[in-house]
Amino acid sequence: MDETTHDDVIVVGGGMVGSALAALLGEAGISVTVLDARPAPLTRDDVGHGLPAPRVSALTPVSQRLLTHLGAWPWIAERRVSPYQGMRVWDGEGSGEIAFAAADIGLRELGHIVENDVILAALEARLEALPSVTQRFGARVAGLTREADAQEVALDDGSRWTAPLVVAADGARSPLRHLAGIEVSERDTGHVALVTTLRCEDSHGGVARQVFLPDGPLAFLPLRVEADDRHCSIVWSTRPEHAEWLLALSPEAFAQALGDAMEGRLGKIEVLDEVHHFPLTQRHAREYTAPGLALIGDAAHSIHPLAGQGVNLGFLDAAVLAEEIIHARQRGVALGDARTLARYARRRRGDNAAMLALMDGFRLLFGAKHPALRLIRNIGLSSTDKLMPLKRIMIRQAAGERGELPAVCR
């Protein structure tokens, strides 16, 4: 196969963030091709039913507004969403604890826990309805070259795709980022994440819970399955040797370990699914752009999941980049213009870097063994819990209400 296809924008990676960007550009009439390595789109009839998928995201109200703008949220809400109105965080080695509530800042919810497959299926359905967007599956990138004022992406089947702008949305190990020669700072967090779905004896009450344990944080994310609010998705970030020990346990023993770690706050626990695991590495690209190229989502930054901010940061990347591209087109500026890409990088790099640093700081503080640091963090949690003005600021930050938001997220 030897053909060349021309577009306004090529998005490499058809995950949640890449699909959101393509939809935003497609709505503006910009011709976009999404090159996705997956063999086929999701079978939409299969998502949002039965046992929840193990990979979920905690979507902020800001991300919900973006998905509502794209017309994807009603489809998501018809399948399965799990709103949560509160959050409790405590130190498993002390008495420090803090509670957040959506009502404290006048919101109905702090966010929604949604299966990743449900989000992606809704976005794929939206892309299919946009005439200026083409999705190509089974597309594996083999090369990237700069030709005059366009980038050329070569696939392993011999086909070539050119556009003034190529966007890498192809994940934390981004092949496109590597082909572009963009360096990345990488830090091993020393943690492995264990994820699965479970049912608790007691209702979660629409509250997300996270306990900081000696080996790492454990989060219980509330799910509603057919009106039953006793289900949770868990993310247990822990040392590799502890993860290996946990993975060797029977489902009943693993459930007991979860219950003990959560101090029995949700009663007896039943594990409903296989326990999946993956290493946690924090990455940040040294540059977000190169001539005719932009990075978004995990290709630009991957973050520890302890605050559930990963996909939310990626959606903001997509919304800001789309806004800058659309404004450039309205002014008659080339879509790959360096100034346009520089504005995108300025608007997003600082916020992402701050969140990465904050999560790293939390991880190090709560992993510290020194008695003085344990005392400080426990006093800090309990003291902050009593300072409502500070808590309101923290809740707004966690809800994504920070900085100058793109118009589609306001």
Non-local (6+) Cβ contacts of 131 within 8 A are none
Look-up of token digits 């934390």: 172
Confidence class for position 142, pLDDT limits 50, 70, 90: very high
For residue 7 the two structure tokens come to 């577009």
Q: For residue 141, what are the CA distances in angstroms to 11, 103, 152, 174, 218?
A: 11, 47, 11, 10, 37
Q: Is the pLDDT of residue 306 over 70?
A: no
Name the region of 248 (left: φ>0; alpha: ψ -120 to 50; beta: rest): alpha
Q: In the sheet that 56-59 helps form, which strands lie side by side, from edge to edge?
A: 56-59, 111-115, 82-84
CA distance 70 to 121: 13
Q: What is the pLDDT of residues 150-183, one digit of tens each?
A: 999 999 999 999 999 999 999 999 999 999 999 9
Q: Is the pLDDT of residue 369 over 70?
A: no
Q: What are phi and psi of 106, to 5 degrees?
A: 75, 25
Confidence class for position 81, pLDDT limits 50, 70, 90: very high
Q: Is the pLDDT of residue 347 over 60?
A: yes
Q: What is the mean pLDDT of residues 236-251?
A: 97
CA distance 35 to 127: 13
Q: What is the pLDDT of residues 258-301, one digit of tens each?
A: 999 999 999 999 999 999 999 999 999 999 999 999 999 999 99
Non-local (6+) Cβ contacts of 71 within 8 A are 126
Q: Is 296 helix (H, G, I), strand (E, B) or coil?
A: coil
Residue 227, beta-bridge partner list = none
**Beta strands 165-168; 293-295: pairing state:** parallel
Confidence class for position 137, pLDDT limits 50, 70, 90: very high
Q: Is the pLDDT of residue 365 over 60?
A: no
Tell me what pLDDT residue 363 has.
57
For the chain, give the percent of residues with pLDDT over 90.
77
Residue 244, beta-bridge partner list = none
Q: Is the pLDDT of residue 2 over 70?
A: no
- CA 309 to chain CA centroid, nearest Å: 6
CA distance 218 to 215: 9
Tell me what pLDDT residue 335 has.
92
For residue 43 the two structure tokens come to 């079978």
Q: 341: closest CA among 155, 209, 58, 151?
A: 151
Non-local (6+) Cβ contacts of 133 within 8 A are 22, 23, 25, 26, 31, 32, 33, 34, 127
pTM of the model: 0.94
Q: What is the pLDDT of residues 28-71, one digit of tens each?
A: 999 999 999 999 999 998 899 889 998 999 999 999 999 999 99
Q: What is the mean pLDDT of residues 216-239?
A: 95
Tell me what pLDDT residue 372 has.
53
Which position has the higher pLDDT, 410 or 310? 410
Confidence class for position 393, pLDDT limits 50, 70, 90: confident
Mean pLDDT of the chain: 92
- CA 311 to chain CA centroid, nearest Å: 2
Look-up of token digits 């050119």: 162
CA distance 111 to 400: 10
Tell me what pLDDT residue 166 has.
98
Which position has the higher pLDDT, 1 or 321? 321
Long-range pairs of 371-375 with CB within 8 A, sequence gap ≥ 24:
374/91, 374/93, 374/94, 375/94
CA distance 113 to 131: 31
Q: For residue 266, what are the CA distances in angstroms to 151, 198, 229, 402?
A: 54, 11, 11, 33
Q: Is 196 helix (H, G, I), strand (E, B) or coil?
A: strand
Residue 121, beta-bridge partner list = none
CA distance 276 to 335: 41
Q: Is the pLDDT of residue 376 over 60?
A: no
